[in-house]
Amino acid sequence: MRGLVIKTTGNSYTVQPADGGGPVTAYVKGNFRIRGIRSTNPVAVGDYVLIERLRDGTNWIADIEDRRNYIIRRSANLSKQTHILAANIDQAVLLVTVAHPVTSTTFIDRFLATAEAYRIPAVLLFNKTDILTEEEMHTLCEWRELYQLLGYETYAVSATHLGVDTVLPLFAGKVSLLSGNSGVGKSTLLNAVAGRELTRTAELSAQHDSGMHTTTFSEMYPLEGGGYIIDTPGIKGFGAVAMEKEEISHYFREIFRTGRSCRYGNCLHLGETGCAVTPAVERGDIALSRYESYLSLLGDCEESKYR
């Protein structure tokens, strides 16, 4: 039987059979490994699996279908082991608030860059439009314009007041990863979109997140109109991608485009001779906030070199 993994806990998996019927609990044999991936967990939410049912009625995951994409978190220790947070994601939705709390543009740009690296379409969803001042509303419009010009879809809602009807089509029939800083309204939005209270367990399982042997139990919440929203408790951003210095600019669309005119192919856009990017920043053709986010990701690389 083929099915979709919708929940993972320490040792069991909840699998939604592809041909209908209620979800079943399945297990994984101790020696189960996937070729080429050194991961602390062999199966993640979003995986399509093959289930074998034994005579005693227990269900076992016999095989995992190839993943279209997956997001990971690297372990805190130096073992280079990774933890797969979720697989086969259609889109990554970042919930942003320009106030209460302020989401920094660096946080947004890091999210977008990570999505580019994973090749997962990213969408920005601005929340709490009901409590913004005129000035904050102005900021919201500016940010939306900036990201729309770069080719990202943006939406603005109020999860509590103005209804989420306008964003229902965004989630319908898709597997969406919902991210955002704490307090921006993820749980509120999830409940509103799913049409019922369902995030309490997620909040509770986040408590397990501690120390080196971190376990993160992810869950996919089914939506009435089809589709799922993935909640990865304890992960405010998006997992981690190892980026080489030279490739970071590939994940900033406009910097990549402009950078093709730099004199040297290995230009890091730090004002080298013949760099096309720094003049574009000075002219305002590339937003300063975006360039600063780029520099901040470059800075991470420098740091990890000395770790």
Residues that bind Zn ion (CB under 5 A): 262, 267, 269, 275, 277
Per the CB < 8 A criterion, the answer to whether 180 and 94 are in contact is: yes
CA dihedral 139, 144, 149, 153 (to 10 degrees): 170
The interface partner of residue 161, options being Mg ion, Zn ion, ligand GDP, none and the CB cut-off 5 to 8 Å by kind, is ligand GDP
Residue nearest to ligand GDP (CB): 185
Q: Determine if 293 is a binding residue for Mg ion (CB under 5 A).
A: no
Which segments within 127-255 are labelled E, that is strand? Answer: 153-156, 175-179, 219-222, 228-231
Closer CB to Zn ion, 96 or 255, in the complex: 255
Closer CB to Zn ion, 122 or 275, in the complex: 275
Closer CB to Mg ion, 24 or 198, in the complex: 198
> Beta strand 153-156 with 122-126: parallel, antiparallel or unpaired?
parallel
The interface partner of residue 204, options being Zn ion, ligand GDP, Mg ion, none and the CB cut-off 5 to 8 Å by kind, is none
Helix, strand, coil percentages for the chain (3-state, nearest 5) = 30, 25, 45
**What whole-number distance in Å separates Cα of residue 178 and Cα of residue 229?**
7
Closer CB to Mg ion, 86 or 297, in the complex: 86
Closer CB to ligand GDP, 183 or 271, in the complex: 183
**What whole-number distance in Å separates Cα of residue 145 and Cα of residue 254?**
14
Which stretches of the chain bind ligand GDP, using CB under 6 A? 127-128, 130-131, 158-161, 180, 182-188
**What whole-number distance in Å separates Cα of residue 91 and Cα of residue 96?**
16
Compute φ and ψ for 155, nearest 5 degrees. Answer: -135, 160
Per the CB < 8 A criterion, the answer to whether 50 and 2 are in contact is: yes
Closer CB to Mg ion, 142 or 203, in the complex: 203
Q: Determine if 158 is a binding residue for Mg ion (CB under 5 A).
A: no
> Closest separation between CB of residue 200 and ligand GDP, Å?
11
Give residues 185-214 in contact with Mg ion (rule: CB under 5 A): 186-187
> Closest separation between CB of residue 243 and Zn ion, Å?
17
> Closest separation between CB of residue 113 and Mg ion, Å?
24
- How many residues form the binding site for Mg ion (CB under 5 A)? 2
CA dihedral for 285, 289, 292, 294, sign (positive or negative) = negative
Alpha helices in 150-265 (DSSP H): 168-171, 186-194, 200-205, 253-259
The interface partner of residue 180, options being Mg ion, Zn ion, ligand GDP, none and the CB cut-off 5 to 8 Å by kind, is ligand GDP
Give residues 169-188 in contact with Mg ion (rule: CB under 5 A): 186-187
Would you tell me which residues interact with Mg ion (CB under 5 A)?
Answer: 186-187
